[in-house]
Chain A
């Protein structure tokens, strides 16, 4: 109203059409990126046995849940290399983590690890989560961890 005449006073219909096209284009792009990112960022949650059965290959981001096997937990404070075996009663997998273990990661107790399998079949964990809270059920496939330190 401040004395300015719109430069492009196009009729309502065509400007509505421009908006509609812009909105549709945006929707298509967003939908495409979303669906594509969804596929590449889905992290499957498996037991060690399921991981073996499905032949999960290297570079596939995976989350494994199981028990820390007795006598296998080792953390070297100087190299900060964390190693332990993770099992579900049938299959055991060697886990190698880089960095300090979460407080109270213990043997014979539940743990969830996220990372990828290496070529040699060991699991390189980027995240290790201890599952201890008595409010939660012991680790079973199908339950994502309740809380932890990413």
Chain B
């Protein structure tokens, strides 16, 4: 029995297990039946084992280069390095959906064994929803359209992975992070649906899945940053975000999930926005499916859409079913979702959070419009068109700045409303900092009104965060006699959700500054050089040393050796064109010297293919772009701090610590 036989058999066995488990969980939730729950639990565990076996079967097939498996023949070759062989699991559609299914099975098993202990009935109903989704995905991977184990007459050698996907180790990180983020959001969705079906108007579903939503959001966000880093390091155009339809598909659920993470707090503290929160969860989940549909069905063309696939209609059907059922449930249960109390003053935390939610939804809708407009136009008028980057820049940049502004004021306002004294106390220093930020941008010569505004808002927000930390540390010092380091550690440990959130905000500030500076301040030159010639780019001098051929087992390269000097730099870069046997298209591989101040980004744009007498070299000096990845890391760290379980604390400690620090309840 081959690895593929094992995987194929395991997948096929998992489908009835998931269907059985779904039925058992639904029965258990309806009848409060203990045996049904036990059965659903064991089904979830068995499904996890079986899907894991299928993944093992696929990895085994890849590592043994079993080209009788179509997926292996299309995405692997004898000379593919082991690292890229292993990550070929997500190099194409079928393997990606297998990975997706594995993550979903893991989340399902977690809810089955842990979730049902905390909230037996609600989690059991949610388990039924998750198992139904799992059954759909298992159905998908066992239909010929997306079956990873379809067998063929084995060729002598495989096709090898898509060249773009075997060029950089970040491929090991970016897709799984996004899949984890996408799939883990199934859990809040399943709880929300369960809550609607059971007619529980309360907030228990939301509290139970808060951490899942946070982790899913963080993975999605870090995955998006990793993806833009990959695009920057691999695609050789010196940029990191192109408003490509599939990038849009990833950012849309992240936007609505961000809105949700904030509006959750309003529901927890003020018992408002119940219908709104349910709608946001449903929307976010639907957008993750839409993203998969756009990526995998071939309806939009992008760097990510590998091939046309027959699973498009299935995914579309799934999407429509989810939207119709969720909206129907929501409308049906609306009367039970009555809210108590109203929003406080316009300058209250809940009001700002609400407004922030509106801006996030506006950003999502406009991205959605730009992404789907070509499809709509083609359906209506038959015209083929695409929506250029200026549309997105023009619409989304002001919205992003508005969000940056709200990020600075929302957390600084108390619930219900703020007094004049509070406003002065909270905003004097940040406003001064913001003015300094604007002056700094002008002094540094960072061009453009948007860039100056970004610097001002970034300084404003950063100051609010620093102020919060300083006050927290000071208060702990006064009350508990703790030193600054100890006080800081205790703040993060005991109020992780709040201070982790501030760290996330700081990461977003870093990203905003990096984006604004790199967009406004990039210097680009392009020149044809003979060996020995030099081109100046900003403060750097780039000399073409030689053009040479290089061969690696799985690919051939044409390398331009460059010597970099000036501005204290003394280094060598080797941008190259890479030729893979499975593709007639050469892949550009940029040479990048990354630094805290700027990145020197070099591209071999063209060369003399007869005598190697000249090469056209494009050189970009991109300021602060490395801080974009650092900002992503800070966001991830903040999310970890916020997601870690907090120690239970006594009432006395709570009052003593929080009252002097916070203006909130």
Could you name 14 residue pairs across A and B whose Cβ atoms are closer than 8 Å?
A12-B342, A12-B343, A30-B399, A37-B390, A42-B388, A43-B387, A45-B386, A46-B384, A77-B528, A100-B528, A144-B374, A145-B301, A146-B305, A149-B237
Contact among A4, A30, A142 with B384 in the assembled complex (CB-CB below 8 Å): A142
Report A-chain residues with C-beta under 8 Å of the C-beta of B345.
Answer: 6-10, 15
Q: What is the bound-complex CA distance between A8 and B605, given in angstroms?
A: 62
Q: What residue in chain A is nearest B417 (Cβ atoms)? A: A6
CB atoms of A132 and B342 under 8 A apart: no
In chain B, positions 400-433 with a C-beta closer than 8 Å to chain A are 414, 416-422
CA of A20 to CA of B493 in the docked complex: distance in angstroms? Answer: 38
Given contacts A4-B421, A30-B395, A37-B395, contact A42 B387 (CB under 8 A): yes
Say whether B346 contacts A34, CB under 8 Å. no
* Complex A-B, nearest 3 residue pairs according to Cβ-Cβ distance, in ascending order: A12-B342, A6-B417, A100-B605
User: A residues within 8 A CB of B351?
Assistant: 15, 19
**Interface locus among B8-16, B218-226, B365-373:** B365-373
Within 8 A of A (CB), among B339-358: 341-348, 351, 354-355, 358
B479 to chain A minimum Cβ distance, whole angstroms, is 15
Instruction: State the main secondary structure of chain A at its contact with B.
Output: loop
Cβ of A118 < 8 Å from any Cβ of B?
no
CA distance A133 to B585 in the complex (A): 6
Among A7, A12, A143, contact of B418 (Cβ-Cβ < 8 Å): A7
Annotate B53-65 by CB proximity to A: 1 below 8 A, 0 otherwise.
0000000000000
Contact among B306, B344, B383, B606 with A77 in the assembled complex (CB-CB below 8 Å): B606
- The reply to whether B385 and A2 contact each other, CB–CB distance below 8 Å, is no
Distance between Cα atoms of A8 and B614 in the complex (Å): 71
* Bound CA–CA A4/B422 (angstroms): 7
A130 touches B585 (CB 8 A): yes
Q: Is A41 interfacial (CB 8 A cutoff)?
A: yes
Interchain CB contact (< 8 A) of B665 among A1, A5, A149:
A1
What's the Cα separation between A132 and B579 when bound, in Å?
13
Could you tell me the distance between the alpha carbons of A61 and B652 in the complex, rounded to whole angstroms? Answer: 66
| B175 located at the interface, meaning its Cβ lies under 8 Å from any Cβ of chain A in the complex | no
Task: Judge whether A103 and B577 touch: CB under 8 Å.
Answer: yes
- Report B-chain residues with C-beta under 8 Å of the C-beta of A9: 345, 417
- Chain A binder among B29-37, B279-287, B656-664: B656-664
Do A8 and B346 have beta carbons less than 8 Å apart? Answer: yes
Q: Which residue of B lies closest to A35 (CB)?
A: B369
Q: Say whether B583 faces chain A, with CB atoms less than 8 Å apart.
A: yes
Contact A150–B526 (Cβ < 8 Å)? no
Asked if B377 and A42 sit within 8 Å, CB to CB, the answer is yes
A26 to B365, CA, bound (A): 13
From A8, which residue of chain B is reached at the shortest CB distance? Answer: B345
Please give the distance in Å from A42's CB to the nearest CB on chain B: 5
* Contact between chains at B383 and A44 (CB < 8 Å): yes
Min distance, Cβ A103 to any Cβ of chain B, angstroms:
4
Nearest CB of A to B617, in Å: 9
- With contacts A26-B359, A37-B395, A135-B307 known, is A12 near B341, CB below 8 A? yes
Interface string of A53-71 (1 = CB under 8 A from B): 0000000010100000000
Q: Is B235 an interface residue (CB 8 A)?
A: yes
Tell yes or no: B616 within 8 A of A by CB: yes
How does the 8 Å CB contact mask read for A24-51 relative to B, with 1 for contact and 0 for none?
0011001001100110111111100000
Q: What A residues does B583 contact at CB under 8 A?
A: 132-134
Whether B331 sits at the interface, judged by CB under 8 Å, is: no
